[in-house]
A and B are shown apart, each in its own frame.
Chain A
Amino acid sequence: MKPKITLGPVQYYWSKQALMDFYAVAAESQVDEIYLGETVCSKRRSLNIKEWLGLANELSKMGKKVILSTLTLIESESEISQLRSLIKQSDFTIEANDYAAVTIAQEFHKPFVAGCTLNAYNTQTLNVLAKAGMTRWHAPVEMSQQSLSDIMQVMKADPILKHIEVEIHGYGRLPLSHAARCFTARTANLPKDQCQTLCIQHPTGITMQSQDDDDLFQINGIQIQSHKPCNLIPCMPQVQSMDIDLFRVYGEDESIFELVKDIKQQNTLGTHIPVINSDACNGYWFGKPGLEFKYDM
């Protein structure tokens, strides 16, 4: 039943044990598909390529469809060679979060998911990507329901694009920007090259507030996230009526799997998940500032 629930790649720097524990629970959970891999910083090396692929195989054997997600900001030769090795060695679909991954996927004739940072905002862009091997498109995080609906209407009438799956950021903190600078290191007055991989001490990032104590953003290495999780669960009837294929959730810990269970139950039984935590956001969906939240549909 649509939408399928996908689990986004862990956004933070966790130890190998923490990752293994998390994915052991994921394997038993009700998520349909799992995105694996490091998407934020190449210095985070709890698992190497072989170990990611091993984990992917394990999860696959347990019935989960696996997609290998890739780095968003690629700056160095070593990052490119890691990316090339991953795409070359993998039998799984990859998620391209940068056009470098698109080029390499084409080189090895591998299909790919177009991640949200490829900035595909229109069907003309999607057509180019589909010809390059895209099988699924994750909408940009700032795209509104109206824009998405406009684009999906055209996709449905297009002989190529009608086969492309559509995915949205359904639940979890929004990836809002990436930089050369490491902001976690900056909080400790350290330059990135001497960052001491401090991120591992902050398993859900560091909160950045306004001077009036509004929780605004989450510092996560070179990435800035929204502090509030985006929550489109209250919009599920609309998501279903639009025929969106995949609803991605991001976890900060294992409680995400309880939420997935509730979403599944809501989708099959028509139960309503009460919005307990109003400290969420979904403004983008309504064409408003992203931090706004509407849950009383």
Chain B
Amino acid sequence: MELVCPAGNFPSLKAAVDNGADAVYIGINDKTNARYFPGLNFHHNNLHKAVDYARSRGTRVFLAINTFPQQSNWQDWVNAVDCGMDNEVDALIIADTGVLHYAADKQASTPDCNVNLHLSVQGSSTSHESLMFYVNQFGIKRAVLPRVLSLKQIERLAAKTPLELEVFGFGSLCIMVEGRCYLSSYLTGDSPNNCGVCSPAHAVKWEETENTLTTRLNDIVIDRFKPNEAAGYPTLCKGRFKVDDTVFHALEEPTSLNAMALLPQLQEAGIKAIKIEGRQRAPAYVAKVTSIWRQALDNFLQAYDSSLWQPNSHWVQQLASVAEGEQTTFGAYHRSWQ
């Protein structure tokens, strides 16, 4: 199983590569990627440095072009695909059907093109039949599965599909089917699909009064924290809301996904790659998470009986310490979470 790690900038890319990522995924500094945050990502003219550094150390590079162009800004996505192909990245991770069409055409008309096409998690593909649309139309090699499938569903899907499958192993947890969540644009105008952001910083307000810290998105209260509570970033789906006069995390608690303990089942199912979320995180985070997952995967792959393998409790604690809300979950992999 391959370890695919996030790199929001060059220091993070170095951190991921130096700590044992098999592949890194990066984005271009515009709306073409789903982590379009200030100060993050690579430019058209320095992306080759990322490719050079990673490749010289045997790490593959995937370019995420995982948002949806409108008619008026289509050219930016074309430029992103061209940039990835010109720099000979190993794969383009694409969400939009039109962009996939463009990339597949370009791939076919470029002699000796070794750039693979991967379907992004933002493509919302959760079944064999859906995946086959992209296989038949564009010859995609791999798909990243949305974080909505249970382990059983993943096993059945993997048994049926001819594609390589990549699943999320660790990081922030999107609980809605990716690519089809418009909650953020409903409150702020910007969504992952159209702007590459969720609950964007420009809409966030922190308001401290005597005994309460209130977080808002476009003036709407997302949560209120008492002095003894850890206050988190106001991601819309992780806030506390009122339902029938009870205030609670109506959608999800602030928590991170950690599927490390499921490695035996994921391996058995034939999952090809484990993805670590977090291009927005600091290089130190990327270094720590990559290093722990590298140790875990190596240990797992060398295990005498991998079906009995369990993660070392030290790794689990270390990962929880950097997780959102300092807690982790199996998310949708376990039916009980659903």
- By a beta-carbon cutoff of 8 Å, the part of chain A in contact with chain B is 72-77, 79-80, 83, 98-100, 102-104, 117-129, 132, 140-143, 146-147, 150-151, 154, 174, 176-183, 186-187, 191-193, 206-214, 216-217, 219, 224, 226, 283-284, 287-291
Asked whether any CB of chain A lies closer than 8 Å to the CB of B312, the reply is no
Q: Give the chain B neighbours of A211 by CB distance below 8 A.
A: 221, 223-224, 240-242, 247
What is the CA–CA distance of A75 and B68 in the complex, to the nearest angstrom? Answer: 23
The reply to whether the CB of B180 lies closer than 8 angstroms to some CB of chain A is yes
**Is there a chain A Cβ closer than 8 Å to B53's Cβ?**
no
Does B148 have its Cβ within 8 Å of any Cβ on chain A? yes
Report if B127 contacts A (CB, 8 A): yes
Task: Decide: A103 near B69, CB < 8 A? Known: A129-B97, A183-B250, A289-B218.
Answer: no
A72 and chain B: residue at smallest CB distance: B180
Number of residues from B at the complex interface, CB < 8 A: 67
Instruction: Beyond A80-B129, A119-B96, list 18 extra A-B contacts (CB 8 Å).
Output: A73-B180, A75-B126, A120-B98, A121-B69, A123-B71, A127-B101, A142-B191, A174-B186, A177-B176, A178-B176, A186-B250, A208-B243, A210-B221, A210-B222, A211-B221, A211-B241, A216-B187, A226-B186
Residue of A nearest to B99 (CB): A124
**Which B residue sits closest to A149, measured CB to CB?**
B71
- Selected from A77, A122, A132, A140, the residue in CB contact (under 8 A) with B71 is A122
Chain A residue contacts of B247, Cβ below 8 A: 211
Compute how far the CA of A226 lies from the CA of B147 in the bound complex, rounded to whole angstroms: 23
Contact of A124 with B72 in the complex, beta carbons under 8 Å = no
Contact yes or no, A176 B181, CB < 8 A? yes
Q: Report if B175 contacts A (CB, 8 A).
A: yes
Question: What's the Cα separation between A148 and B191 when bound, in Å?
Answer: 17
B129's partner among A103, A147, A224, A226 (CB-CB below 8 A) is A103
A128 touching B98, Cβ below 8 Å? yes
> What are 21 residue pairs bridging A and B, where the CB atoms are less than 8 Å apart in the complex?
A73-B180, A74-B130, A75-B153, A99-B134, A102-B133, A103-B130, A121-B69, A122-B70, A127-B101, A132-B137, A147-B71, A151-B70, A181-B251, A187-B243, A187-B250, A192-B335, A206-B243, A208-B250, A210-B241, A211-B241, A212-B220
Known A119-B179, A209-B243, A224-B251; judge A98-B130 contact (CB<8 A): yes
Interface residues in B67-110 by Cβ distance below 8 A to A read: 68-72, 74, 95-99, 101-102
B189 at the interface (CB under 8 A from A): yes
Chain B residues with CB under 8 A of A219: 243, 250
In the complex, what residues of B have CB within 8 A of residue A120's CB?
A: 97-98
Query: Quick check: A98 and B124 within 8 Å, CB to CB?
Result: yes
For residue A273, give the distance in angstroms from its CB to the closest CB of chain B.
Answer: 24
Nearest CB of B to A109, in Å: 15
Complex Cα distance A285/B188, Å? 14
Instruction: Please indicate the chain B residues that have their CB under 8 angstroms from the CB of A213 in the complex.
Output: 242
Interface residues of B in 116-137 (CB under 8 A from A): 124-130, 132-134, 136-137
Given contacts A124-B99, A216-B220, A289-B189, contact A208 B241 (CB under 8 A): yes
Contact A125 B96 (CB under 8 A): yes
Contact A121 B126 (CB under 8 A): no
* B179: chain A residues within 8 A (beta carbon): 119
Kindly identify which residue among A117, A127, A128, A147 contacts B72, using a CB–CB cutoff of 8 Å.
A147
Closest to B74 in A: A122
Interface residues of B in 195-247 (CB under 8 A from A): 218, 220-224, 240-244, 247
Closest to B153 in A: A75
- Contacts known (A73-B126, A103-B132, A122-B69); A176 close to B186, Cβ less than 8 A: yes
Chain B residue nearest to A125 (CB atoms) is: B98
**B147 nearest in chain A by CB position:** A180
B319 to chain A minimum Cβ distance, whole angstroms, is 22
On whether the beta carbons of B194 and A142 are closer than 8 Å, the reply is yes
* Inter-chain contacts of B191 with A (CB < 8 A): 142
B72 touching A210, Cβ below 8 Å: no
Q: Are B133 and A99 in contact (CB under 8 A)?
A: yes
Task: Give the complex CA separation of A133 and B200 in angstroms.
Answer: 37
A209 touches B241 (CB 8 A): yes
Known contacts: A179-B148, A187-B243, A211-B224. The answer to whether A73 contacts B187 by CB under 8 A is no
Complex-state Cα separation, A254 to B56, whole angstroms: 66
Given contacts A122-B96, A122-B98, contact A100 B130 (CB under 8 A): yes
Q: Are A210 and B242 in contact (CB under 8 A)?
A: yes
**CB atoms of A121 and B70 under 8 A apart:** yes
Look across to chain A and name the residue whose beta carbon is closest to the beta carbon of B245: A209
CA–CA, A201 and B298, complex, Å: 51
Query: Is B337 an interface position by the 8 A CB rule?
Result: yes
Asked, given contacts A119-B179, A142-B191, A182-B338, whether A151 binds B71 with beta carbons under 8 Å apart, the answer is yes
A289-B187 contact, Cβ under 8 Å, with A183-B250, A209-B242, A210-B242: yes
Complex Cα–Cα for A83 and B225 (A): 45
Partner pick for B221 among A126, A180, A212, CB 8 A cutoff? A212
The distance in angstroms between the C-alpha atoms of A129 and B98, with both chains bound, is 9
A74: chain B residues within 8 A (beta carbon): 126-127, 129-130
Contacts A99-B130, A120-B97, A142-B193 known; A180 to B148 CB distance under 8 Å? yes
